[in-house]
């Protein structure tokens, strides 16, 4: 394995990071929207969101990305490997994020909303000033844990031709007939990436229990 090969794996790392980042950035607000829809208890919309979440949580990412990549062009939406991959990651992570946000919303004390109403805050302002800051703090560890899960499923996007860390490593292994060294380089990139997120999540959880303890 040459230096150029290691470089190729690192350029795969850039792809992995960019796609996972895009999935996270799009999935976070989408998940929040879904959670708010389920929280608001509007007939039909709530049920639709619940079915969406249940279905997406049960769908393996590989099946989802194959579905999007092959079926979307059929109905006239052109997608490439990268856009299909990002879309699949977004849909997948939004379902899991929704559950994290929803758990925080369920735990939000009702008197907070009532107090906000009593001082005449409108719906949008209540959401922005009262609800969001509180649920964001509570949800953060869960959301970060979901991000680390997301990074761990990105290698699957190779099935539609995205060249990420794992795909680059497989290619080099096939060319050099020495699959183990590139796999270990790939592993050496994933481990710190995921471990950093996991450590961040643990640190946040510890800090929050410390802050919540005296109250």
Partner 1 sequence: MIHGFAIVWAERGLMLSGLANTVLLSALAGLCALVLGALLSTLLIRPRGVVQIATRVFVDAMRCTPFLLFAYIIYYGLPTLGIRLDNWSAGLISLAIYHMAYMGELLRAAWAAQPRDPIEAGQAFGFSGLSLFRRIVLPPLVLTSAPVVGNQVIQVIKDSAFLTIIALPELTHAASSIQSRHYIPFAAFISAVLLYWMLCLVIEAGVSSIGRMAQARR
Q: Which of residues 137 and 202 has its CB atom nearest to partner 1 in the complex?
A: 202
User: Of 70 and 125, which CB lies nearer to partner 1 in the complex structure?
Assistant: 70
- As measured in angstroms, the least distance from the Cβ of 114 to partner 1 is 31
Q: In this structure, what token pair is assigned to residue 182?
A: 């590139």
Cα distance between residue 128 and residue 121, in whole Å: 10
Q: Which is nearer to partner 1, 21 or 190 (CB)?
A: 190
Residue 189 CB, nearest distance to partner 1 (Å)? Answer: 10
CA-based torsion, 178, 182, 188, 194: positive or negative? negative
Q: Which is closer to partner 1, CB of 31 or CB of 173?
A: 173
Gap between the terminal Cα atoms of the chain:
57
Residue 7 beta carbon to partner 1: minimum distance, rounded to whole angstroms: 19
- For 34, the 3-state DSSP assignment is helix
- Provide the binding-site residues for partner 1, judged by CB under 8 A: 54-55, 57-64, 66-67, 70-71, 74-75, 148, 151-156, 158-159, 165-166, 169-170, 173, 177-180, 183, 186-187, 190-191, 194-195, 198
Distance CA 7, CA 135 (A): 41
Residue 35: CB minimum distance to partner 1, A: 19
Min dist. Cβ of residue 179 to partner 1 (A): 4
Neighbours of 76 (CB within 10 A): 6
| Residue with Cβ nearer partner 1 (51 or 115) | 51
Contacts of 87 by beta carbon, 8 Å cutoff, 6+ apart: 68, 79
């Amino acid at each position: 394995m040459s230096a150029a090969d290691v470089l190729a794996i690192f350029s795969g790392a850039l792809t992995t990071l960019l796609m996972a980042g895009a999935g996270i950035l799009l999935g976070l607000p989408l998940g929040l929207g879904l959670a708010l829809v389920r929280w608001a208890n509007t007939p039909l919309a709530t049920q639709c969101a619940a079915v969406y979440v249940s279905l997406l949580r049960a769908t393996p990412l590989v099946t989802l990305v194959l579905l999007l990549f092959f079926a979307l062009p059929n109905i006239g939406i052109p997608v490439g490997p990268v856009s299909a991959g990002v879309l699949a990651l977004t849909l997948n992570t939004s379902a899991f994020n929704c559950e994290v946000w929803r758990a925080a919303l369920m735990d939000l004390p009702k008197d907070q909303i009532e107090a906000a109403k009593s001082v005449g805050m409108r719906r949008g302002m209540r959401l922005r000033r009262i609800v969001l800051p509180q649920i964001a703090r509570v949800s953060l560890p869960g959301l970060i844990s979901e991000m680390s899960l997301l990074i761990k499923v990105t290698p699957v996007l190779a099935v539609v031709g995205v060249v990420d860390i794992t795909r680059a490593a497989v290619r080099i292994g096939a060319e050099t007939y020495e699959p183990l060294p590139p796999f270990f380089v790939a592993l050496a990139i994933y481990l710190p990436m995921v471990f950093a997120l996991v450590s961040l999540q643990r640190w946040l959880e510890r800090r929050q229990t410390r802050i919540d303890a005296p109250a």
